[in-house]
Amino acid sequence: MPKFTTPCVSFFLLGILVLPCVVTSVRADGKDASKDEELLKKAGIRLERDALLEVVNRYPRKPLDVKGLPALIKKLSDESFEVREGASQRLIEAGDPAYNLLQRDISNKDPEVARRARICRLEIRRRTLLSNAAMHVLVTKQAPGSLEALFRSPHQSVRWDCARQLEQFNDRDAQAITLKAIEDEDPAVARAVRRAVYGALRFDPLPTVLKLADSSKPRVRAAAMFLLAKFVKDPASLPVLLAGVKDKDVRVRRDAAFSLGGFPTDAEVVKTLCALLEDPDPGEPGDFTLAEHAAWSLAPVETLAELAIPALAKASRDGKGMLRFYSFRSLGLIGKKGKKCAEQVLPHLVEAMKSDSPQIRAWAAGTVGELGAHGAPAVDPLLVVLQRPPLPGWTSVESKKLQTCTLYSLGKIGPAAKTAVPVLIRILEKEQDRAILEYAIEALGEIGPDAKSAIPSLQRLAKERDPRGRNLLVIRAAEESLKKIAP
């Protein structure tokens, strides 16, 4: 979806993975631990495995609701010494999030609050440096037993940091320990481990993963389904994945649906994914629903587009939450594969642009742009959307989003959108919102020489200087579009 600060951004440039919040992380280069060793020696810490493990486990980041941190900071001015001390200790244990929030309180008018804020920040910094240094030395030196000991830590943050460093443990002896870590009780740790297994570790390829798929533990079976995405070229993985989407545990079904995206030419797979678009799984924080996984996995389909497109169109219209977005995303990616696919997708997008929902209209309008020049038949419907007044109840943010998505698509269609030039010129003459102006200017530039009638308006905008420099992006966009229209 368009970003308001940069005109040339793909409609679907959306980050969707949710990771734990860690501001200061362990270095993963694994090249040189000499500085960390020097730091630890100065702190009087021996560079032996057990001593380093003790440091890592002594200063873990303890899970704490970030929303509760401001309340703890307020307690730094409490009349009770015990309350102030308790709040200080909890803030220190919270680590990086508290460190960042306390920045503004080091100059608090209350000297007690300012003093405690400085002390807390210094202690958080000291603990973070020592813990990270110890972890880095452990990972770099790879003393026997280090990996197993780290994964046995009672602290989630230690196990999570270790999982993020797994690519450094290249020894095949680490395989059994790592596969055991996939069973970690903390979902964030388990996800980090399986990502490392997928991307870095050298295991016996398919046999090991197929063995995991037979586990009695749902989390391990789910990891196997996820890892099978790496082996989609091996026909042995397909029956396992098709069985996986029927597993009694929804986590297994979700990951199986994800990996089935690697078989876009298999009719049974496409039909299965289409059926899963109607699955009622409500999902959980940090993961897609089963239907959302299915929608995502249908994006590579091309030869079987006639099966996928109607199902995705229905999901984009009737689905709940982000399922609609992912359905539009896949429709756009299927449609951009060629004229034939675009012709099948466009009628559904045009129909969706008539929705009373500003969000659905915006997503549908933005998806047209993913088809590029093949979206030309939708120029007139896009202009209708662009000029139609907002419906009662729409917010200004929703209206702006709809306009920018529509303008984005007109620009992506390019010269075939030349009939939009008069409307775009009117926007240049009347619009005050800089983001909308940028997209209109960008669209004119992409239309090219057929937008010559817009040159006077663009020249005016290129010369309008705001004393505070707030319209620099508008000026830059106008200058670039003038070059494209009249080289």
294-311, pLDDT tens digit by residue? Answer: 999 999 999 999 999 999
The verdict on residue 96 lying in a domain is yes
CA atoms within 13 A on the CB side of 8: 9
The verdict on residue 52 lying in a domain is yes
The verdict on residue 104 lying in a domain is yes
Task: Give the per-residue pLDDT at 157.
Answer: 80
**8 A C-beta contact, residue 336 and residue 344:** no
The verdict on residue 211 lying in a domain is no
Q: Is a pLDDT exceeding 60 seen at residue 171?
A: no
Tokens of 75: 């307690």
The verdict on residue 41 lying in a domain is yes
The verdict on residue 195 lying in a domain is no
Tokens of 262: 């690697």
pLDDT tens digits for 124-169? 999 889 988 888 888 787 777 888 888 888 888 888 878 777 766 6
Among 32, 20, 53, CA closest to 148: 53
Q: How many domains does the chain have?
A: 1
pLDDT tens digits for 431-456? 889 999 999 999 999 999 999 999 99
Q: If you search the block for the tokens 């400085």, which residue do you land on?
A: 118
Task: Give the per-residue pLDDT at 438.
Answer: 95
**8 A C-beta contact, residue 232 and residue 203:** no
Mean pLDDT, all residues of the chain: 86
Whole-model pTM: value is 0.73
**Structural domain boundaries, residue 83:** 34-141
Task: Give the per-residue pLDDT at 20.
Answer: 30
Task: Give the per-residue pLDDT at 262.
Answer: 93
Provide the percentage of residues in the chain whose pLDDT is more than 90. 56
Q: What angle is formed at CA 383 by the lines to CA 476 and CA 308, rounded to 5 degrees?
A: 100
Burial 188-211 (b: 16+ CB within 10 A, else e): bbbbbbbbbbeeebeeeebeebbe
Q: Is a pLDDT exceeding 60 seen at residue 233?
A: yes
pLDDT tens digits for 91-112? 998 888 888 889 989 988 999 9
Instruction: Considering only residues 55 and 309, tell me which one the structure prediction assigns the higher pLDDT.
Output: 309
Give the count of beta carbons closer than 10 Å to the beta carbon of residue 54.
13
The verdict on residue 407 lying in a domain is no
Burial 259-289 (b: 16+ CB within 10 A, else e): bbbbbbebeebbebbbebbebebebeeebbb
Task: Give the per-residue pLDDT at 32.
Answer: 63
Confidence band, pLDDT 50/70/90 cuts, at residue 172: low
Candidate from 207-216, 462-471, 472-481 with smallest mean pLDDT: 462-471
The verdict on residue 93 lying in a domain is yes
